[in-house]
Every structure is written in C-alpha cells, then in structure tokens.
Amino acid sequence: MPGIYIHIPFCKQKCHYCNFFSVASEKYRTVFVTALLREIVRRKDYLADKIIQSVYFGGGTPSLLSVREINQILEQINSNFTLDTDAEITLEANPDDLDADKLKALKNETAVNRLSMGVQSFFDNDLHYLNRVHSGKQAVEAIEAALEQQFSNLTIDLIYGIPTLTLEKWQRNLEIFLSFDLPHLSAYSLTVEPKTALNTLIRKNKARQVDEAQSVRHFQLLLDETSRNNYIHYEISNFARPGHYSGHNSIYWVGGHYLGLGPSAHSFNGFSRQWNVSSMKQYIDADSPEKTVFEKEILTTAQQYNEYVMTALRTSWGCDSGHIVNVFGTRYRSHFEDSIRQFVSDGRIEQKGNVYLLTAKGKLFADGISAALFSV
Ligand SMILES: C[S@@+](CC[C@H](N)C(=O)[O-])C[C@H]1O[C@@H](n2cnc3c(N)ncnc32)[C@H](O)[C@@H]1O
Ligand code: SF4
C-alpha cells in the first residue's frame, strides 16, 4: 500500500527532546509551500502509477498550515498522483493550534480524515520538562473539541519515561486517554537524542536524567492498561482498536513504498532509499531539477534483510522465515533461524510455525534482539 509523507518543517518553539528537522519560525512558510508544490510535480513518477492509499502531513507542526495551504497541497497531489477514494489523510497537530474554528474548517473544508495530536502528557510539569508550548488543560480541550467536530478518527501521542513523570502520573495519563475512548494511541519512551537541547541540559546537570528502570515500569503499565481496555499492541509504540491501525505507519513496517516530500523526508521504492536535504534554504532554493538536493543509497541484500528484521520484529505480525527465504534466500534464513533460537529458548520470542514474535518479556528488549539477528 503506497503512501505519501509530507514534512512540514515549522514549529512555534523547539521541544528540548526533539531531533526532527524543523525551524522555530514561520518566516519561510509561503516560499516553503511554493517549493513543496514544485516538488510534488517533480516527483510525480516516483511511485510509478501506483494508487496512493495514505497521505500523511508530519513534522514539524502541520497544524500551523492554513486550511487554504492544506487544500493547495492536496489539490497538487490529486493532480499528479492517483489517490484511492478511501485514502487515509492524516494531519499531525499540536493541541494549541486546535480551536473549534480550526477543527471545523479542517473537518468541513479539507479532505483530512484523521488527526494525530501530540499531547505527550496531561501534566504541566512534564510539559515544562519537555519544553512543550501547550498546557495539559489545552490538550484535554483540544481532544474534546476534535470529538465535538466528529473527528472520531483521532490518535494521540504520549511520552513515558520523563523523569518528572511518576508511575501514578503515568497511570493518570493513561486513564485520561482511556476516558476519551479513542481508537488509537502512540506511546513513546523518552529518548535522549545526541544533538538535542535535552542532551546538553542533562550533561550540564540542568535537567534530570532519564531512569531506564522507571521507563520499563511505565512500559509494563502501558501494556497492562491497553490490553485490559481492548487495544491491540500492533507495534512496539502503537496501540489500536481493531480496524484502526495507522495506514501510514503500516507502510513502513511492511516494507511498502512511499514518497517523502519536504526537507529531510525519506522515500523508498523497494530497492533504493533516498532522503531530502535537511536545510530550509537549500530546499526552497531548488527551483530547477538540477538544484534538487537529496542523497540516495541502493540497499544491499544484507541491509534490506536487516531492515525487514528490525521493523517486522516490532510488529504483531512478527518476522516470517518464509518471507526471508523467498525474498533474501536460504543463507539469510539459516542465519535468522540460527540467531533467533537463543531467544526462543529464553522465552523472549514465541515461534508460531514460520512466524517469530516478541513475547511480553521480549518487548522490553526489542532493539537488542533485532541487533543480534542482523547480518553484517
Ligand atoms: C516529531 S513529532 C511531530 C508532531 C508534532 N509536532 C508534535 O510535537 O506533537 C512526532 C512525535 O514524536 C515523538 N517524539 C519525538 N522525539 C521524541 C523523543 N526524543 N523521544 C520520545 N518521543 C519522541 C513525540 O511524541 C511526538 O509527538
Ligand atoms: S516534538 Fe513536534 S512541536 Fe516539538 S519540536 Fe518536534 S516537531 Fe516541533
């Protein structure tokens, strides 16, 4: 199921933990939209006549775009690609951008049919630690307003493992999420990325360090609460009611093809991966195809196998040794079966025929297990 990802690289302010490409200014917004409309035309053949099942506005902060700009972008996509009539069209949104008027206009005047709201926590001291621009109260009000406007296909992002987030507060964040009966949740463990303000603050002892043991307790509570409330844990950070898996994310996890537009966006068409430059200036200056700046790599079989193992293992569909032999050959199947055996023996992997899945215990070690399965 092919999809299009559109990176909107603006934010009101940078959150301290965030490593995604974005600038804390809207100065270049108009010229950026012009450059994006140009890139859509330039890359119209990338997905080679495939029917597009999902369009995802990610960021950065796509909810900073006006309804007019969102429509301009979607019209340009419609004129250059074939969109499925039921395509999932998701907009990532920050709570402080979502008042009743904006939500009403998004619902009635655009084709956006799914909202992904970055809440992170309902407590102000956690939001302060993260340097978020909104309050917990604003997040609750934005969810209520979205539901009032019939945006029932709504997902929120939460972050756990924040040093200020006690287990009781995490429990309360989950209770508030559950009280809205939403179809989907993404919950991420706070990662301290090297080139972020959070990393610098922690190194200078100006922000509290993340406690791994606390993050593990949060993750266990997350698994218990979501399963008790009938959410399917379909990917390590994602939980959904049946039929509400994220179409966009599923493309990445099943090795589907996608086109990434906008600075820093990645694209994949089965054999090559390419990514746009992470620079606003270079992106908006590329007014002719020769000035387009991207990097490209042709993936070796070992890289394709590693990528499959890493993504598939994180999902509830698991790693399929039948798929490995069909796509990568017998050498890779032998390597996979030899290296996964130890994890089946110690109870971190469950084997069902050809399919290998993380157990509840294994989910705590997903990254380490996939690294042990890689081929070099
Ligand atoms: C890059 S943001 C874009 C969406 C929107 N701007 C927002 O902040 O809600 C997507 C999500 O990634 C998650 N995220 C980004 N960096 C993270 C990190 N270092 N650790 C954990 N989660 C992170 C946050 O939950 C965030 O909502
Ligand atoms: S988390 Fe979202 S709002 Fe915060 S800096 Fe990153 S992209 Fe911007």
Pairing label, strands 114-120, 154-160: parallel
pLDDT band at 28 (very low <50, low <70, confident <90, very high): very high
pLDDT tens for each residue of 116-159: 999 999 999 999 999 999 999 999 999 999 999 999 999 999 99
**pLDDT value at position 376?**
77
Residue nearest to atom 4 of ligand 2 (CA): 15
- What mean pLDDT comes out for the span 305-311? 91
Residue 49: which pLDDT band, with cuts at 50, 70 and 90?
confident
User: Please, which residues bridge with residue 273 across strands?
Assistant: 268, 297
Name the closest ligand to CA 139: 1
- Residue 192 CA to ligand 2 centre (angstroms): 14
Region 288-306 average pLDDT: 84
Distance 347 CA to ligand 1 centre (A): 32
Q: What is the pLDDT of residue 289?
A: 77
Domains of the chain are 3-253 (3.80.30.20), 301-373 (1.10.10.920)
Q: For a substitution probing ligand 2, which of 6, 56, 57, 61 has the most ligand atoms within 8 Å of its CB?
A: 61
In angstroms, what is the span from residue 344 Cα to ligand 1's centroid?
Answer: 33
- Look at residue 190 and tell me whether its pLDDT is greater than 80: yes
How far, in Å, from the CA of 18 to the mean position of ligand 1?
Answer: 6
CA atoms within 13 A on the CB side of 214: 18
pLDDT surpassing 80 at residue 290 = no
Residue 22 near ligand 1, beta carbon < 6 Å: no
Is residue 92 within 8 Å of residue 59, measured between CB atoms? yes
Average of per-residue pLDDT across 89-104: 97
**Block residue for tokens 């100006």:** 206
pLDDT grade for 70, boundaries at 50, 70 and 90: very high
d(CA 160, CA 136): 15
Sign of CA dihedral 88, 93, 98, 101: negative
Of the pLDDT bands very low, low, confident and very high (cuts 50, 70, 90), residue 273 is confident
| C-beta of residue 130 within 8 angstroms of C-beta of residue 17 | yes
Ligand 1 centroid – CA 236 distance (Å): 15
pLDDT at 170: 98
Q: What is the pLDDT of residue 355?
A: 96
Ligand 2 proximity of 133 Cβ (cutoff 6 Å): no
Ligand 1 centroid from CA 158, angstroms? 9
Q: How far apart are CA 309 and CA 304, in angstroms?
A: 9
Ligand 2, atom nearest to 94 Cα = 3
Report the alpha-carbon distance of residue 159 to residue 136 in Å, rounded: 13
Q: What is the pLDDT of residue 260?
A: 97
The three-state DSSP-derived secondary structure of the chain is CCEEEEEECECCCCCCCCCCCCECCCCCHHHHHHHHHHHHHHCCCCCCCCEEEEEEEEECCHHHCCHHHHHHHHHHHHHHCEEEEEEEEEEEECHHHCCHHHHHHHHHHCCCCEEEEEEECCCHHHHHHHCCCCCHHHHHHHHHHHHHCCCCCEEEEEEECCCCCCHHHHHHHHHHHHHCCCCEEEEEECCCCCCCHHHHHHHCCCCCCCCHHHHHHHHHHHHHHHHHCCCEEEECCEEECCCCCCHHHHHHHCCCCEEEECCCCEEECCCEEEEECCCHHHHHHCCCHHHCCEEEEECCHHHHHHHHHHHHHCECCCEEHHHHHHHHCHHHHHHHHHHHHHHHHCCCEEEECCEEEECCCHHHHHHHHHHHHCCC
Per-residue burial over 321-334, b if 16 or more Cβ lie within 10 Å, else e, is: bebbbeebeeebbe
- Residue 100's nearest CA partner among 32, 147, 41, 165 is 147
Q: Is the CB of 121 under 6 A from ligand 1?
A: no
Question: Of all atoms in ligand 2, which is nearest to the CA of residue 130?
Answer: 4
What's the whole-number mean pLDDT along residues 78-84? 96
Cis preceding linkage at 256, omega within 30: no
Residue at 126: amino acid letter:
D
Q: What pLDDT score was predicted for residue 14?
A: 97
pLDDT for residue 11 = 97
pLDDT tens-place string over residues 315-336: 999 999 999 999 999 999 999 9
- Tell me if 160 sits within 8 A of 129, measured CB to CB: no
Mean pLDDT of all residues in 239-244: 94
Whether the CA torsion 120, 123, 129, 134 is positive or negative: it is positive
